[in-house]
Structure formats: structure tokens, C-alpha cells
Amino acid sequence: MRTLVLNAGYEPLAVVSFRRALVLVMNNKATIIKADDDNPVSSTTGEYERPSVIILSRYVRVPYVRRVPLTRRGVLRRDANHCAYCGRSANTIDHVVPKSRGGEESWENLVASCFRCNNVKGDRTLAQLGWSLRFTPRMPSAGMARSRPRPAPARMGRFPGASRLALSACEAEPESLQPPHADSTHGLEHD
């Protein structure tokens, strides 16, 4: 069973295992606001409420990052006009995971490709071809992808996993009053 973690401002932050949620509660970092009364957690040290929803005691800041707008030219520039598959001069762009297989338009899924590789690859995946990428495609830094005419201003957006990172940072914070007991849920059943 999973537990919904709300930030101190009541917005949903993450879904975690009930064990992880219980550790947050035991370390006074969160309070249970809804428990599954029919299924208490039994352990060698007693019975605990099984949290369905918890709320963090302190607000954690979820960082925002500048998203660089995705352009065809930006992808070619990031990859220095070199084919991501063979390294030769490239002037087309290719979806690593083909669109027909749910591949998205993103910095992580678009690469520069030479005409030949693009043609050979078609709608197939790298695994099917036994190909590999010469680098891991990522969003470039803001200045690097700029092209003329200037693209729309970069939008602010959360990067995937930002909420989870913020929660992990909160968990890692030492407790000022009592030290967190990493193994305080020892003996609890697995979920």
C-alpha cells in the first residue's frame, strides 16, 4: 500500500511506500491526516496506524528549472551537427524512440542524424538494430541552443522527479530534537 505525501501547503508531493511514510511520521517530519483504520501496521514493538495520507511538518521547496525551448536547430547545434549514431556530418534530426512507438518530442529523445542512419533506422528502436547512441542526449544550457530568430522565452517548469528530490532532502535532514532511527521500522511487514 502506498501513501500520499502532501507538502506543508497541502499540495501533493509524492507517493511513497507506507514504511517510508511511517519513518517520516516517527521522525516528526510529517503528521498522519488519514489512516487506513482497517489495516493497522503490526510490528514487534506494537501496532501503528497505517498512513494513507500524510502532511509534512515543514514546507519543502520544489526547485524550478529553466526549460530551454526545443528547436530543430537547437538539437543540431547541441550535437555539433554530428550524427548521434555514426558520428558523420548530420543535417537531419531523428527520434531515438520513434514517434510511432510513443517517442516524444524532447531534448532527451531527439538527436542529430545523418541522412543515411535516419533512413536505415526508420521506425525501429536502437535495441532492434543493435545500435547505441554515442552520447546521452540532454537539454543543453540556455545559451547553447539559442538560434535566430530568437525562440519564445524559456518556460519555467518542474523537471521530472523534482518533488521526489525535495522529499529526499527533507528526509535526509537531521532531526534537531532526537536523532532519526534509520531502522525504526524494523520488524514491520513488507508492503
- Binding residues for Zn ion, rule: CB under 5 A, are 83, 85-86, 114, 117
User: Of the two residues 9 and 122, which places its CB atom closer to Zn ion in the complex?
Assistant: 122
User: Of the two residues 65 and 133, which places its CB atom closer to Zn ion in the complex?
Assistant: 133
Shortest Å distance, C-beta 131 to Zn ion: 10
Rg of the chain over Cα atoms, rounded to whole angstroms, equals: 23
User: Of the two residues 43 and 81, which places its CB atom closer to Zn ion in the complex?
Assistant: 81
Shortest Å distance, C-beta 146 to Zn ion: 26
Q: If we measure between CA atoms, which residue out of 1, 13, 2 comes closest to residue 58?
A: 13
**Using CA atoms, how far apart are residues 190 and 1, in angstroms rounded to an integer?**
9
User: Of the two residues 8 and 86, which places its CB atom closer to Zn ion in the complex?
Assistant: 86
Shortest Å distance, C-beta 118 to Zn ion: 7
Q: Could you tell me if residue 112 is left (phi over 0), alpha (psi between -120 and 50 degrees) or otherwise beta?
A: beta
Q: Is 119 helix (H, G, I), strand (E, B) or coil?
A: helix
Q: If we measure between CA atoms, which residue out of 13, 33, 32 comes closest to residue 24?
A: 32
Shortest Å distance, C-beta 83 to Zn ion: 3
